[in-house]
Structure 1
Amino acid sequence: MNNVHILFIGAGRMAEAIFSGILTHQPEIMITVSNQSNSAHLDLLQSNYPIQTTSSWTEVIDQVDVILLACPPGAHSEVLQKMSLLLKKGQLVVTVAAGIGPSKLEAALPKGTPVAWLMPNTAADVGKSMSIYAYGSAITDTHRNIFEKVVSAIGPSEELSEEQVHNLTAVTGSAPAFLYSFVEALEQTATKYGLTAEQARKLVIEMVIGSAAMLAKHRDPAKLREQVTSPGGATAAGLTSLANDQFSDSIIRAIHATNARAKELGS
């Protein structure tokens, strides 16, 4: 367990967020990162992190315990086809790609290959990703222990069914982008009242950080909303405006649109 070695196939933002979190919280885990098309980026990553890098994952796959697919959904078919010829018995294959569940991994890999589907978000970089995941049918307790060790390094997590991961990836994985968009809108509004961009950013981000701390402490968004909202007051007027603009329904539609696109990408 102390010598787990993970091969990342793909070196984009999500891969970096995950292995950055792992190295911070589980520094004994060995990391190798592969990127076939951008050697300069690999050199940059190696200068910033205590990792190994390679432009040819096929040459090192036999040396690792876990293969983490951080490549785009559309690249999975080719990668899995190559991998199926090279896997050793017992190696755990994990994907973080939207729309690529355990059933698709199992269909493409040798029978009995242990697989898992992990859907984190970029807060893995600071050990705060709320990750959801689903296992394939060949997972053993040993694989669970390794997988949960890795996931715990990047934040809290919840095991779900494959279908639930399909439907809830938008809530845990994509919704941070919705929150950041909300923050941008607040910043833009603040500048219209005479603040500089820097002042607006400080005001809004610190408000969000404080609100998140309250959520972390009290775990009850409805109660917290009520505490801020006096009947007939200014906040109530703002909430009424959001309701009139179908704020909640708009979020729900965004979740559905995200899920639909994720399934298209994974098909």
Structure 2
Amino acid sequence: METQTQRQTVLFIGAGRMAEAIFAGLLRREDARIGEIIVSNRSDRERLAALQARYGVTVTQDWREQIGRSTVVVLAMPPGDHKAVLAELASQIGGQFVVTVAAGVGTQLLEASLPAGTPVAWVMPNTAAMIGESISLYTYGQAVHEEHREILSLLLAGIGESAECTEQQIHELTAVTGSAPAFLYRFVEALEASAVSYGLSADTANKLVAQMVYGSAKMLKQGTPPAELRDGVTTPGGATAAGLRVLDERGYAEALQDAVVATNARAREMAEK
């Protein structure tokens, strides 16, 4: 098997959208440290053929055929599939760097399932990885060295920004960074429905709300606290204040907190099955 300082052969077990986002990001960077990308999916031949045609990656329906020559293994399948795959992987792995991108699956589970001394990492990206704009949380296991950190930085750089956290923090922040885009999209759906109710077309409503969200996000990215930005829109006793009062009366902040707790709990539950 190649050492970590040589060109890496990265095997993806799973060929979904997140796997595609990560290896597409690697290919865009054209880093000499990445030698070959192998993508596996046991059932969807059409998906594999499409990925091979678009990206020129190596594809296989059986990851076991490629594990021996891989140096990095990215587990990109649903959380509930991890235990079965890890049980098989444990008997075939030999020092490869194993990375999971599944919600609820931490480094402790990886280390408990794989041979002692296996270097592992957990990454929690979000769907904005598909356009290179994810914020990805990550943490390492106990056997990781600097070479592994460099490889993980390559995986992360291709899909957006990242922040190192403890495993417990990632469990607690899964909803905030990983699932919260769905909360935002539900918010957008409601605003678009309101706009349509006033006679706008669906396309126009989408354009208005999407640009509002985009512009607001850019202002947040400049570093101004959200409370300060909110106050900048809100005149005391004015129209915006009336709308915020309704949200407060309906428990807007509390509902979001409850959504975060429920999301994190379910993520852990799925990973433990």
TM-score, normalization by structure 1: 0.95
Consecutive unaligned residues of structure 2, counting only runs of 5 or more, are: none
Report the Cα offset of residue 59 of structure 1: 0.6
1:169-180 to 2 correspondences below 5 Å: 169-180=174-185
Corresponding position of 1:7: 11
- Asked whether the equivalents of residues 5 and 66 of structure 1 are also in contact (C-alpha less than 8 Å), the reply is yes
Corresponding position of 1:210: 215
Corresponding position of 2:39: 33
> Which deviates more from structure 2 when the two are superposed, residues 29-38 or residues 167-176?
29-38
- Asked whether the equivalents of residues 101 and 125 of structure 2 are also in contact (C-alpha less than 8 Å), the reply is yes
Determine the C-alpha separation between the residues in 2 that align with 1:157 and 1:26.
Answer: 20
1:105-124 to 2 correspondences below 5 Å: 105-124=110-129
1:87-236 to 2 correspondences below 5 Å: 87-89=93-95, 91-236=96-241
Determine the C-alpha separation between the residues in 1 that align with 2:28 and 2:184.
Answer: 25
Structure 1 stretches of 4+ moved >6 Å: none
Corresponding position of 2:88: 82
Corresponding position of 1:45: 51
Match of 1:73 among 79, 86, 89: 79
Q: Deviations over 1:122-146 (max 9, x none)?
A: 1111211100011111011111111
> Which deviates more from structure 2 when the two are superposed, residues 109-118 or residues 21-30?
21-30
- Asked whether the equivalents of residues 17 and 130 of structure 2 are also in contact (C-alpha less than 8 Å), the reply is no
Consecutive unaligned residues of structure 1, counting only runs of 5 or more, are: none
1:21 partnered with 2:25: yes
Report the Cα offset of residue 27 of structure 1: 5.6
Q: Which amino acid aligns with 1:15?
A: A
SS in 2 for 1:194: coil
Over the aligned positions, Cα root-mean-square deviation in angstroms equals 1.4
TM-score, normalization by structure 2: 0.93
Identity, in percent, stands at 53
Q: Deviations over 1:168-220 (max 9, x none)?
A: 11100000111111111111110001000111011111111111111112342
SS in 1 for 2:163: strand
Determine the C-alpha separation between the residues in 2 that align with 1:24 and 1:211.
Answer: 29
Q: Which amino acid aligns with 2:225?
A: D
Determine the C-alpha separation between the residues in 2 that align with 1:101 and 1:219.
Answer: 33
Report the Cα offset of residue 261 of structure 1: 0.3
SS in 1 for 2:178: helix
Determine the C-alpha separation between the residues in 2 that align with 1:157 and 1:249.
Answer: 27
- Asked whether the equivalents of residues 21 and 126 of structure 1 are also in contact (C-alpha less than 8 Å), the reply is no
Q: Which amino acid aligns with 2:104?
A: G
Q: Which amino acid aligns with 1:49?
A: Y
Count of residue pairs brought into register by the alignment? 266
Determine the C-alpha separation between the residues in 1 that align with 2:204 and 2:241.
Answer: 26
